[in-house]
Amino acid sequence: MTGLLGGFTVPLLGVSIFIATLTYITYKLLSSYLHKWFEMKPIPEVEGTYLFIGNALQFKPNAGDFFRQIVDYTCEFRNAPLLKLWVGPVPFVVLYHAETVEAILTNPVHMEKAYLYNFLHPWLGTGLLTSTGPKWRQRRKMLTPTFHFSILTDFLEVMNEQADILVEKLEKQAGKGQFNCFSHITLCALDIICETAMGKKIYAQSNSDSEYVKSVYKMTDIISRRQRKPWFWPDFVYTCFGEGQEHDKTLKILHSFTNKVIHERAEYISNIESDSESDQGTRKRRAFLDMLLKTTDEDGNMMNHRDIQEEVDTFMFRGHDTTAASMNWVLHLVGSHPEAHSKVQQELQDVFGTSDRPVNTEDLKKLKYLECVIKEALRLFPSVPFFARSIGEDCHINGFKVPKGASAIIITYALHRDPRYFPEPDEFRPERFMPENSVGRPPYAYIPFSAGLRNCIGQRFALMEEKVILASVLRNFNVQACQKREELRPVGELILRPENGIWIKLEKRKP
């Protein structure tokens, strides 16, 4: 009998250890959750917040309705310094005032991205957008030189070439009634980022059915849906009952494409004896990828293939969708405001006259009103409508205690509509960004490219691209918007897009 029972000793011991471990983990998680729940109780919250569930069941399933819901919360609590939302067991403090946003973004303790960014890791790894701590600091230091202005000016040629292709495509629409320009602008931006980031032409403007193009949009939609549904956050549940298989299939397409390009470019560079001269003696056009393949850290170590892929995938994602969205919003706003439209075209006339020459660096400096138009469009419709940080230590925000482990979500869309700094905030007024009208405005009242330590490394690239493309379009066409503001229905997912596109009419300008 003893021998028989002895045979059960090891399995029973294992089960006991498993149960004890599970009980301990459950206790720790539950006590941590309840601790945050009671510590954050004084922070203003929306009605219908329940223990364990939080506000998850209140959220609208449609992406556009969900975004409008969050914006409505910030309007309802406009006079409160912040508000609180629980997404399942995860607490968020929602920030939409310059002073509370500054407190978070200027503190290096809160530099880590929030939990929701984990769903980007399979695609983007832990590159510059998603990494944290020493890796982020090292990577930022390594990559900053690749965004030097002298290097960015090399990309002007690509931007002008793709702008010419866009104008040719738009000429076919001129004088033929209204059309949705969103995909035209987006494909142009995608061609630019592919050639400047990877040194590869993908001819997206000519081939909008590209598998890679479709996969980029599909992946952003898949990730956004998962972020809104906490019951799909566990990988096992997502794989078995969610879109896990579709996610993995799309991911394979994206990574296969960039993998192939990196290998091809590395082989190409190894066959080029000089950085500046090709075999034929003509100037070789550089790409970000070329620089990444030669970048070393402080110890002289080269970036490995995985490091490079993380950054290339990040550039591809953040480098085209954001600029494309911004340019589309500009065309709607300019097409809706004849006075601003005339001012932009007058500035273009002053700089270019009747010539059709490409845009150069000196032109970019002179397009001051166009820059104000772009900035005002980014105020009203920031390409990244919200972003989130993890609270790295217990802190106080405007007198309210926020515990370590909570997340702060900054609603850029609402922040930019603070009437203290932008009177009549829903009005389109590019003059707000004239130097004399910007005096005294807090730096954290307007952050379309984030701010502080983790501000966008590519913002100069983005502004340069937007100026080149918009200047090319407005030199050739008069634009008329075909939608009222309320018809746009902005959808705030990873990028702020109009739900039904941007519909305009074009008229060819006379030489």
Q: Detail the residues annotated as belonging to a binding site.
A: 456
- Both tokens of residue 439? 């005096």
**Cα(307)–Cα(291) distance, rounded to whole angstroms?**
13
Q: In what order do the strands lie in the sheet with 90-95?
A: 83-87, 90-95, 407-411, 386-390
Phi, psi (degrees; rounded to nearest 5) at 360: -115, 180
Strands 90-95 and 407-411: parallel
Q: Which residue has the tokens 């009177």?
A: 423
Residues of each annotated binding site for heme: 456
> Would you say how long the chain is, in residues?
511
Which stretches within 88-155 are classed as H helix? 98-105, 121-124, 133-143, 149-152
Question: Are the C-beta atoms of residues 56 and 88 closer than 8 Å to each other?
Answer: yes
DSSP string, 159-227: HHHHHHHHHHHHHTTTTS--EE-HHHHHHHHHHHHIIIIIS----TTT-TT-HHHHHHHHHHHHHHHHH
Q: How far apart are CA 223 and CA 235, in angstroms?
A: 13
Q: Which residue(s) pair with 408 in the sheet?
A: 93, 389
Beta strand 90-95 with 83-87: parallel, antiparallel or unpaired?
Answer: antiparallel
